[in-house]
Amino acid sequence: MDKKTRICIIGGGPAGLSAGMYLEKKGYTNYTILEKLDRVGGKCWSPTYNGRRYEMGAIMGVPSYYAVHDVEEFCGITHDGPKLNRNYKNGKGDVIEPFEPKKNILKIPRLLKMKKQIKKLGEILETKYKGYDLNGHRGVAEGRYEGFSQTSSKRQPVKGENPNLKDLCMPFKDFCKLNGVELTQDVWIGPYTSFGYGYFDEIPAAYVLKYLDFQTCMNFVKINLWTWKDGTQSIWEHLNEKLKNPARLNSNISKVERKDGKVFVTVNGKVEEYDKIIITSPLYVPNKRKDGLVGMVDYFDAREDEKKYFSKIDYERYDVLACETKPEDHPEISYYVFDNMVPEKLGHLMVYYRRWRDTKDQVITTYALRKHRDRKEIPYEECRQTVLDDLKTMHNPASNVINEWTVYYFPHVFSEDYAAGWYDKVEAMQGKYDTYYAGEIMSFGDMDETAEYSRELVERFF
């Protein structure tokens, strides 16, 4: 492709900014990033309270976040934030230690069995499911893998046939049962369901294992985590400042037309002409949101194939509250509440974070899911009140809510559409209509997966 190609990137989150960075690295400088908000970072949102930043979106990273590390190197920054730790409570607010045999004598047989199953899962992922951990979903439903190895930062291209990969189309709960590793869900659920990515009985195993590949999950277990002093948003703020063409904020796109080999984008009432367009913003939003969020099919001249496939996308209802507490009620550490990470406890508090351990004049942030495909969606206000009631049960009542956020979260397709080849059909559309699709749905909803997908998209097509 001509290095002078005029490229429009929609979205100034990790996917869009990373696309700009990787394009720039390959010599493309005629790109424009359009962001509708007055800030960059997308779901990496780190507001300030009492002089310090706290997290409303992404909280942490791990050493296997190679794309995030690319950004750090590009910007000359590093992960310099507070060291995180955690503990556990049951649904009654009692502190528990579910993985400590000495504190759970009656559960020792189960814990030993779980340890063996974790080892087994690690082994079969590397053998039976070779290729499972590649970024993106190309070929999985067809029993093949194609992409870049994630075993090291070098990310060498790999491809091959593996019919067993079709098992990743089924819900993770069924995948674990098929392979006799049901107890591994006790470990994987912490950094998965509590982080808002849905329940194991409804979400295809591919999403779970591409995000929480064995290496990444073990980093979470061992608390081998990265944080950033000025929040995850600062990563993308630094990147935006470093780019030759920083994102244009407050860009309201009302129309996109693709015709005669050109892309015409109406931004803030004016038409701009491009040669190619990369979409990292939502492709489809299946219901009208109070915040007015729409998908690309609403403002693009969407074709029938785009409407057909993107209408299959669903998303999670995941809510975050930033709460003040009285000093005597401030939690001494972050807590996970495993009892509430099941569909039957939809709308309840699953985890709450204390980011700054050296002071009590900061907020804690709470997280709850209120949607499951087979259950009635919990209304936002009801969930909000349930979470505040749960904080009282946890003995850490909130004195005030200073910020709250319900965001379009973790776009995904369910097992039947995954198995029917949704990803391969959409991947076959890349470049059609001079349009490229990136962002969360094409890989996964965490910042590293989306940034990595942008890297691979640039490698493949530019």
Instruction: Give residue-wise pLDDT tens across range 154-189.
Output: 899 999 999 999 999 999 999 999 999 999 999 999
122: three-class secondary structure by DSSP: helix
Is a pLDDT exceeding 90 seen at residue 29?
Answer: yes
Is a pLDDT exceeding 90 seen at residue 320?
Answer: yes
Q: What is the mean pLDDT of the chain?
A: 96
| pLDDT per position as a tens digit, 267-310 | 999 999 999 999 999 999 977 788 888 999 999 999 999 999 99
Which domains are seen in the chain, by residue range?
7-75+229-313+413-461 (3.50.50.60), 125-221 (1.10.405.20)
Rg (CA), the chain: 22
Question: Which amino acid is present at 41?
Answer: G
Instruction: Say how many CA atoms lie within 13 Å of 85 toward its Cβ.
Output: 7
Q: Give 347-352 contacts, CB < 8 A, sequence gap 24+.
A: 347/378, 347/382, 347/383, 347/386, 347/387, 348/91, 348/386, 348/387, 348/390, 349/386, 349/387, 349/390, 349/391, 349/394, 350/193, 350/194, 351/194, 351/195, 352/391, 352/394, 352/396
* Residue 122 and residue 267 in contact, taking contact as beta carbons nearer than 8 Å: no
Number of residues that this document lists for the chain: 462
Is a pLDDT exceeding 90 seen at residue 101?
Answer: no
> Where in 214-304 does DSSP place strands (E)?
253-259, 262-267, 270-274, 276-279
Task: Give CA–CA dist 366/387, Å, rounded.
Answer: 8
Task: Give CA–CA dist 26/274, Å, rounded.
Answer: 19
Confidence of residue 100 (pLDDT cuts 50, 70, 90): confident
| pLDDT per position as a tens digit, 112-161 | 999 999 999 999 999 999 999 999 999 999 999 999 988 888 899 999 99
Confidence of residue 58 (pLDDT cuts 50, 70, 90): very high
List phi, psi (to 5°) of 271: -90, 130
Task: Give CA–CA dist 414/311, Å, rounded.
Answer: 12
CA distances from 183 to 116, 120, 341, 409 (A): 9, 11, 15, 27
Residue indicated by tokens 């990292």: 280
| DSSP classification of residue 85 | -
Mode of pairing for the β-strands spanning 334-337 and 86-89: parallel
* Residue 44 and residue 447 in contact, taking contact as beta carbons nearer than 8 Å: yes
Is a pLDDT exceeding 80 seen at residue 104?
Answer: no
In 3D, which of 210, 197, 119, 230 has the Cα closest to residue 169?
210
Contacts with 242 (C-beta within 8 Å, 6 or more apart), sequence order: 21, 74, 75
* Residue 341 and residue 98 in contact, taking contact as beta carbons nearer than 8 Å: no
Q: What is the mean predicted confidence (pLDDT) over 66-77?
A: 97
Task: Give CA–CA dist 216/168, Å, rounded.
Answer: 18
Residue 402, classified by CB atoms within 10 Å of its CB into exposed (0-12), middle (13-18) or buried (19+), is middle
Residue indicated by tokens 């007055």: 38
Is a pLDDT exceeding 90 seen at residue 423?
Answer: yes
Contacts with 44 (C-beta within 8 Å, 6 or more apart), sequence order: 13, 14, 57, 58, 231, 232, 233, 235, 236, 447
pLDDT at 152: 81
Task: Give CA–CA dist 415/436, Å, rounded.
Answer: 24
Global pTM? Answer: 0.96
Confidence of residue 18 (pLDDT cuts 50, 70, 90): very high
In 3D, which of 438, 433, 428, 442 has the Cα closest to residue 303?
433
Of 98 and 343, the one with more pLDDT: 343
